[in-house]
A and B are shown apart, each in its own frame.
Chain A
Amino acid sequence: MDCYTANWNPLGEEAFYRKFELYTMEWSLKEDLRDCLVAAAPYGGPIALLKNNARKEKSPGIRPLLEIYSASGLLLASIPWKSGQLVQLGWTASEDLLCIQEDGTVLVYNLFCEFKRHFSMGNEVLQNHVLEAKVFHTEYGTGVAILTGAHRFSLTTNIDDLKLRRMPEVPGLQKPPSCWAVLSQDRVTIILLAVGQDLYLLDNTSCSVVTPPGMSPSAGAYLQMAVSFNYRCLALFTDTGYVWMGLATLKEKLCEFNSSIRSPPKQMVWCMRPRSRQRAVVVAWDRQLMVVGNSTECIQFVLDEDSYLVPELDGVRILSRTSHEFLHEIPEASQEIFKIASMAPGALLLEAQKEYEKESQKADEYLREIKDQKLLPEAVSQCIEAAGYEHEPDTQKSLLRAASFGKCFIDKFPAESFVRMCQDLRVLNAIRDYQIGIPLTFTQYKRLTIEVLLDRLVLRRLYPLAIRICEYLRLSEIQGVSRILAHWACYKVQQKDKSDEEVAHAINQKLGDTPGISYSEIAARAYDCGRTELAIKLLEYEPRSGEQVPLLLKMKRSKLALSKAIESGDTDLVYTVVLHLKNELNRGTFFMTLQNQPVALSLYRQFCKHQERETLKDLYNQDDNHQELGNFHVHSSYSEKRIEGRVGALQNALDEYYKAKNEFAAKATEDQIKLLRLQRHLQEDFDKPYLDLSLHDTVSNLILDGHHKRAEQLYREFKIPDKRYWWLKINALANRGDWEEMEKFSKSKKSPIGYLPFVEISVKHHNRYEAKKYAPRVTPEQRVKAFVLVGDLDQAADAAIEHKNETEMNFVLSKCTASTDTAVAEKLNRARAQLLKK
């Protein structure tokens, strides 16, 4: 423990900084870093190197070589650089490599040196060339700022949604600025540049001169500037060796330092940690590294090798040919515990635990001391927190052990923070392994979130590790394992050396029915790689037809799409495909396709019925469906206003019905045409509306109006059955009140419907007198009913008695009223009694 603070360097009263090695670099570089273009992604990201880029070696034999390493120096990929002259490399927030060429073209590669896309920074940049470029990250995404040969700035704040902005001109700028930086304030991206002793601020519209507060006038010309990770702080280095540190708004000075080194530093970056009051800047020269802050003293390190600084959220990474180090401020919790002779509760707890392990009674003493101050919970929390800041598993363990020990003496200490920390450290230690090479600190990890970390593992194709982490942290399948498997599958389909069957099988084998897996997404990826057959195979595994269809359509497998859509039972989907087919195929083929898919056909028919009636006709025509064509014409005849039009349409229908060999329909239509023509005549002759009436009603109306001849003519012409005609006629006559004609009619020949209807109809029109005329002509079986109807109970009784029918007798009896029909009732009762006697 005594040596634990050995690498702690004090800066000022309160702050300590330490530098320790993350990795011994594996990359065995032959070149010096200074001869390479270097870019390292933040959050322990990969390192890109471009070798032999220097202009002077224009010898044609040597091509520049682009290499990408993990943070531990393992080679991930390399390609010979064949494109144009590169000015700058940079990483996007999603760990894509941006290669900015002299002509303003930006090429995007993934971290396996696979080309993804490119974009241009505009014509102006193309003409004037890129002098310098910077890649920066804001809440909008990853941005690129360019200084052109004409000393103008162009920038975009988000390369995924490219909007180029050309910044205003700096008046009188003849030579490139000595240094510049991109600032982001209140969601506005601005550029700060220094020319000699002047500072300029460029925003969207204007250029203004600014002076940092508290800057001594004798400070000299600006050589270097640095913006902090969070854009809050700004540091300026002048040629007198003076460092100004203040807020990026240039409203306040935080501190200053005089290094008295006049040569321009190679790099200057901020070294801060979130929520800490300490602010320091790391300045690097060729062989010297200096940490300066709010103190007259500074921390100095000697650099044995050429080094490269990578600013991080909570510190600075220092890369060199042989090692990869991390420089950061010691967090408060660690300070409290490990500071020499610290009496902080955490420190005491750690001590207590150690004594306990030694089986010394001192353990109890220490513990008491904490407990007396009632600080045990704080002590445990402190140990847990400090464990997170440690890089060495051994130290992590001893701190966690102390926490666990202390926890035992507290009632109901929530275990969650302890468990979480153990889990987090386990994950962090796993990814820090040099094979993986992601040296995330706890603070960075929390900022990055586990989801992003998993994404990054997936990007590195470290699928098994990612899955292990998901399982270990018990992330929900959809968020975790499934997502990773899906990514794996998407990668798998790109393996061109394996056959479609093999790949499809392998994927299905691994993925099975894991919830949240979208086979259609994987298939889409396969299709993007030009493997249509594989895509179709993969789609077979997709349980949701709704997901299969859009991709199938995209792959121009419309017919398959149609059958899948139908299978899904989702008519919307079917409509989608049908509409797509309609536009894609010519009409003939389109109809043919539909003919084989009845469900789709009937859906499309429904649509046409309301929206495109003419198409409906074409559909039937194509199919030689004469029956439906006939119906179609009949239907359209209704909407014809003019009678000629109507007859015409019906004539068409007639032809179709004949073709359909539907004689009945043909005959009916023929009759209808005949009727229509007749009705027109009637309408003209009698000036009354006859159109649209049925045959029955037409005849009935004729009789009602007394046109008996005409009615007779229709009766014969349309072969109206006798029964109907009689019913119809007596009804109409009764309605007309033409009793005379009715009687005449009744005698014209024997009624095919009998005479009871005559009785009924007369009674219905309250004409008993007429009814009585017909009652005797009613057939014997119905005579009782007829007499009852006309109200002649006496005769009814006689008829019933004659029939010797008890039911009839009872029926008549039930109609008898005591007051008036006593005689009849008596007669009936007698007859009934006689009947029963027999």
Chain B
Amino acid sequence: MAFAGRRDVPEPPDFGILKRLARDQLIYLLEQLPGKKDLFIEADLMSPLDRIANVSILKQHEVDKLYKVESRPAISASDQFCFLVRPRIKTMRYIADIVNADKMSGRSRKYKIIFSPQKFYACEMVLEEEGVFGDVTCDEWSFYLLPLDEDIISMELPEFFRDYFLEGDHRWINSVARALQLLNSLYGPFGKAYGIGRCAKMSYEVWRDLEEESEADGQGRKPEIGNIFLMDRAALVADTDYVTALCSQVVYEGLVDDTFRIKCGSVDFGPDVTSSDKSIKVLLNAQDKVFSQIRNEHFSSVFGFLSQKSRNLQAQYDRRRGMDIKQMKNFVSQELKGLKQEHRLLSLHIGACESIMKKKTKQDFQEMIKAEHSLLEGFDIRESTSFIEEHIDRQVSPIESLRLMCLLSITENGLIPKDYRSLKTQYLQSYGPEHLLTFHNLKRIGLLTEQSAGETLTAVESKVSKLVTDRAAGKITDAFNSLARKSNFRAISKKLGLIPRVDGEYDLKMPRDMAYVFSGAYVPLSCKIIEQVLERRGWLGLEEVVRLLNGNEFSVSDSAVEDNPTWESQRVILAVFLGGCTFSEIAALRFLGKERGCKFIFLTTAITNSARMMEAMIEAKA
């Protein structure tokens, strides 16, 4: 359903500069330690680093050997160690152990720690306590933003979710603010800022403070990004928007992520996909001509598309038949390479689809989807509960079981006490008792809770208020008042029409709305709110929703930035997801963008999905 006078979608700004900046700074930092050195890299910095600077660049700047942080220190003869790490206490102790071991054996080396994206005082504290502060030099690699694709920028901080939402640790807020500052300085001031959620608000405020302090003169720049929308993963008390992240993804890119795990924009396709005996690493982005056409499609239409595509390809190959020598020469020199490339990609994606299908049918995917949909709609709760129970009893998958339990809890505003106990008991019996702590975490973050009567609420309140206090402690009380009201999820989904009324079959090939990313069963809440707020240019008229979402909304226009509707930038929207965003949400907003003639750019602390979210909650054995 095309809009009348639909405008072309504007081009996104060029984010390649972010990579160049990061690379230049890294090289500068490496050069600060002249001479040959061994580089120790934190495991989860490896993929991002790979996107910025490859091994040969590192070698050019006299990096001798590369080690992974955590593996036992290799015996190295190098006189200089350089550590490229996240600012984590655990890593500091690892480094301190190396330094202290060297001291014991009387070796003297130079040590340099490069923190990415920034250094935390706590790290220095640990270094000091371990007695190595004087032996190391510290630097910061302000590598806040990694462009994964032309419209996705990731901070690659998956721990943001757990640290902030579970542990109440605010340290990454500052990093988010600095990332915004960086974007602001490179791409001009944002004209309008909207946001919802406490974390979003805090990040926004810290960022504003930073801007004021720096007094940088970015005002003169022509803005390239007109609007910014900040969103907490858990903006929403009762944590309604966890739903989006908890549902099984059915958009191709999301499915690939769920099945194979996309890491830093690339995926390792194993032998079952490549139909050979080795794995292939594939970069998934807009450059991949096949992928870019199917990434946002519902899985059911992907196969059809791929077979059509292969037929086209074959037809193009077949054109050779009638060619004379000259035409043939042209064909070989110009088209053949592209065709071959496309052919390779096509077979990879077909392989991936087959592999997905195989895995999904094994797990009764259809039934699971059905159960999910009834949870969303609130039908047949008992049946769904037994489905989950059976799922647990059969030990299908610890993560999936947990996910379904959480989904049930959120859509029902908590489990009824009987189910709460029995499901948990079943789970512990199936997957091991250590998950007792996992359940505690899930309860604390509000993903898996017990339906509570009024009086138990105060106990929860006092507990949670210890976790989450901010400038105005009074807001918590408000939050709990709203919590006391009956099922938030139902109320919100009704208010915003998140569950479309379907007459007849939902046409997944020609989607009508963003619900297609969940087979027409559910519009992601986050995306719906963005749509509504952009349409209204503010929160006016959404008071009820805001109240259900526990407030903390804001909407600020920068008066310094001229509201010039002719500027393309007005139609470029930066959607910031704090705590992660899923490919389904990305697909939904891309769809919305196409409908409305605007371009969404995604800035997220990390790409997430249900499995990653659940894993973040699981208490690792010490």
Verify if A672 is at the interface (C-beta below 8 Å from B): yes
Question: A63: CB under 8 A from chain B?
Answer: no
- Residues of chain B within 8 A (CB-CB) of A606 are 89, 122, 163, 167, 169
Contact B436 A669 (CB under 8 A): yes
B270 at the interface (CB under 8 A from A): no
Q: Which residue of A lies closest to B424 (CB)?
A: A664
Binds B, one of A172-180, A187-195, A595-603: A595-603
Is the CB–CB distance between A671 and B433 below 8 Å? Answer: yes
Interface of B is mostly: helix
Please name the residue on chain A nearest to B450 by beta carbon. Answer: A664
Q: How far, in whole Å, are A568 and B202 apart by their CA atoms in the complex?
A: 10
A interface SS class:
helix
Q: Known contacts being A638-B622, A724-B393, is A599 close to B469, with CB within 8 Å?
A: yes
Given known contacts A598-B168, A602-B169, A696-B395, A634 and B425 CB-to-CB distance under 8 angstroms: no
CB contact list, A535-554 vs B, under 8 A: 543-544
Which residues of B lie under 8 Å from residue A602 when comparing CB positions? 167-169, 467
A140 within 8 A of B: no
Q: Is the CB of A724 within 8 A of B121?
A: no
Closest to B421 in A: A664
Instruction: Please indicate the chain B residues that have their CB under 8 angstroms from the CB of A605 in the complex.
Output: 167
Determine whether the beta carbon of A727 is less than 8 Å from that of B431.
no
Partner of B436, one of A668, A675, A693: A668
B213:A544 contact, CB within 8 angstroms:
yes
Question: Assuming A572-B120, A599-B469, A695-B429, is B129 touching A611 (CB within 8 A)?
Answer: yes
Q: Does A267 lie at the interface of the complex (its beta carbon under 8 Å from any beta carbon of B)? A: no
A631 to B170, CA, bound (A): 23
Which one, B43-51, B204-212, B283-291, B342-350, is touching chain A?
A: B204-212
Complex interface bits, A550-591 against B, C-beta within 8 A gives 1, otherwise 0: 000000000000000001111111011001000000000000
Question: Is B562 engaged at the interface, CB distance under 8 Å to the other chain?
Answer: no
Known: A668-B425, A727-B393. A603 touches B215 (CB 8 A): no
Encode contact with A along B100-122: 1 for CB under 8 Å, 0 otherwise.
Answer: 00000000000000000000111
User: Which chain B residue shows the least CB distance to A602?
Assistant: B168
Contact with B along A717-743 (1 / 0, CB 8 A): 010110110011001000000000000
Minimum C-beta distance from B50 to chain A (A) = 27
In chain B, positions 411-444 with a C-beta closer than 8 Å to chain A are 421, 424-426, 428-434, 436-437, 440
A831 to chain B, nearest CB (A): 26
- Complex Cα–Cα for A658 and B430 (A): 24
The CB with the most chain B CB atoms within 10 A, among A603, A605, A627, A669, is that of A603
The reply to whether the CB of A515 lies closer than 8 angstroms to some CB of chain B is yes
Docked Cα-Cα span, A638 to B620, in Å, equals: 10
Q: Using a CB-CB cutoff of 8 Å, which residues 82-135 of chain B contact chain A?
A: 88-90, 93, 120-122, 125-126, 129
Q: State whether the Cβ of A694 lies closer than 8 Å to any Cβ in chain B.
A: yes
Contact A571 B434 (CB under 8 A): no
> How far is B129's CA from A607's CA once the two chains are assembled, in angstroms?
12
Q: Does B281 lie at the interface of the complex (its beta carbon under 8 Å from any beta carbon of A)?
A: no
Q: Are B619 and A635 in contact (CB under 8 A)?
A: yes
Interface residue ranges of B448-500 to A (CB < 8 Å): 465-471
Is B173 close to A, CB under 8 A? Answer: yes
B466 near A601: Cβ-Cβ < 8 Å: yes
Question: CB-defined interface of A655-696 with B at 8 Å, one 1/0 digit per residue?
Answer: 000000000110111011001000000000000000011111
Q: Is B14 an interface residue (CB 8 A)?
A: no
**B169 adjacent to A579 (CB under 8 Å):** no
Mark each residue of chain A from 636 to 649: 1 if its CB lies under 8 Å from any CB of chain B, else 0: 10110000000000
Q: How far is the CA of A605 from the CA of B171 in the complex (A)?
A: 13
B434 and A638 within 8 A (CB): yes
Contact, CB under 8 Å: B209 / A575: no
Docked pose: A573 CA to B470 CA in angstroms: 16
Pair A634/B202 contact, Cβ less than 8 Å:
no
The distance from the CB of B301 to the nearest CB of chain A, in whole angstroms, is 22
Q: Taking the complex as formed, is A837 at the interface, i.e. its CB lies under 8 A from any CB of chain B?
A: no
The answer to whether A58 has its CB under 8 Å from any CB of chain B is: no
**A575/B393 in contact, CB under 8 A:** no
Instruction: Please give the distance in Å from A815's CB to the nearest CB on chain B.
Output: 15
Residue of B nearest to A575 (CB): B121
A627 and B90 within 8 A (CB)? no
List the A side residues contacting B206 at CB < 8 Å: 568-570
Report which residue of A567, A602, A634, A636 has the largest number of chain B beta carbons within 10 angstroms of its beta carbon. Answer: A602
Name B470's closest neighbour in chain A (CB-CB): A599
Residues of A within 8 A of B177 (CB): 569
With a cutoff of 8 Å between Cβ atoms, the chain B residues found around residue A636 in the complex are 622
* B89 and A675 contact, CB distance less than 8 A: no
Specify which chain B residues have a CB less than 8 angstroms from the CB of A731 in the assembled complex.
394
Within 8 A of A (CB), among B279-327: none
Is A610 in contact with chain B by the CB < 8 A criterion? yes
Does A575 lie within 8 Å of B174, measured CB to CB?
no
* Complex contact A607–B89 (CB within 8 A): yes
B395 touches A635 (CB 8 A): no
User: Do A598 and B125 touch across chains, with their CB atoms under 8 A apart?
Assistant: no
Q: Which residues of A contact B120 (CB under 8 A)?
A: 571-572, 575
B169 x A571 contact (CB < 8 A):
yes
Is the Cβ of B394 less than 8 Å from the Cβ of A694? Answer: no
Q: Are B168 and A599 in contact (CB under 8 A)?
A: yes
> Is B621 interfacial (CB-CB < 8 Å)?
yes
Docked complex Cα distance between A572 and B209 (Å)? 16
Beyond A575-B125, A606-B167, A610-B89, whether A570 also contacts B433 by CB under 8 A is no
Q: Please give the distance in Å from A634's CB to the nearest CB on chain B.
A: 6
CA A515 to CA B217, docked complex, whole Å: 14
Nearest A residue to B434, CB-CB:
A638
B390 within 8 A of A: yes
Residue in chain A with minimal CB distance to B441:
A631
Closest A residue to B174 using CB positions: A570
Residues of B within 8 A of A607 (CB): 89, 122, 125
Which one, B122, B421, B437, B468, contacts A635 given CB within 8 A? B437
In the complex the two chains form, is A569's CB within 8 Å of B93's CB?
no
- Check B170 against A724 for contact (C-beta < 8 Å): no
Q: Nearest Cβ in chain A — how far from B1, in angstroms?
A: 33
CA distance A665 to B443 in the complex (A): 13
C-alpha gap A575/B430 in the complex (Å) = 41
Whether A571 contacts B170 in the complex (CB less than 8 A), given A694-B433, A721-B426, A724-B393, comes out as yes
Residue pair A603, B170 in contact (C-beta under 8 Å): yes
Q: A543 and B212: CB pair below 8 A?
A: yes
For B430, give its contact among A598, A601, A638, A696 (CB under 8 Å). A696
Contact status A639-B425, CB under 8 Å: no
Contact with B394, one of A665, A721, A727 (Cβ below 8 angstroms): A727
Residues of A within 8 A of B425 (CB): 664, 667-668
In the bound complex, CA of A721 to CA of B425 (Å) = 10
Q: Which has the most chain B C-beta neighbours within 10 Å: A636, A664, A727?
A: A664
- Assess whether B433 is in contact with A598, with CB atoms less than 8 Å apart: no
Kindly list chain B residues whose C-beta atoms are within 8 Å of the C-beta of A631.
436-437, 440
Least distance between A659 CB and chain B CB atoms (Å): 14
Point out the residues of chain B lying under 8 angstroms from A692, CB to CB.
Answer: 432
Q: Chain A 16-38, CB within 8 Å of chain B: the 1/0 string?
A: 00000000000000000000000
Query: Nearest B residue to A567 by beta-carbon distance?
Result: B471
> Which of B428, B432, B436, B619 has its CB near the most chain A CB atoms (within 10 A)?
B436
Contact bitstring A700-730, B, C-beta under 8 A = 1, else 0: 0000000000000000001011011001100
Give the residue name and chain of the A residue nearest to B175 (CB).
Answer: A571
Q: A603-B171, A721-B393 are in contact. List 12 more A-B contacts (CB 8 A).
A: A569-B177, A569-B205, A572-B122, A610-B88, A610-B126, A627-B440, A634-B436, A668-B424, A669-B436, A694-B428, A721-B426, A727-B390
- Which 9 interchain pairs have the tightest Cβ spacing? A602-B168, A610-B89, A571-B171, A572-B121, A694-B432, A598-B469, A569-B206, A672-B433, A724-B393
Can you name 10 A-B residue pairings with CB atoms under 8 Å?
Answer: A543-B213, A544-B209, A597-B469, A599-B469, A610-B89, A634-B434, A638-B621, A664-B424, A668-B424, A723-B393
Interface residues of B (CB under 8 A from A): 88-90, 93, 120-122, 125-126, 129, 163, 167-171, 173-174, 177, 202, 205-206, 209, 212-213, 215, 389-390, 393-395, 421, 424-426, 428-434, 436-437, 440, 465-471, 619, 621-622
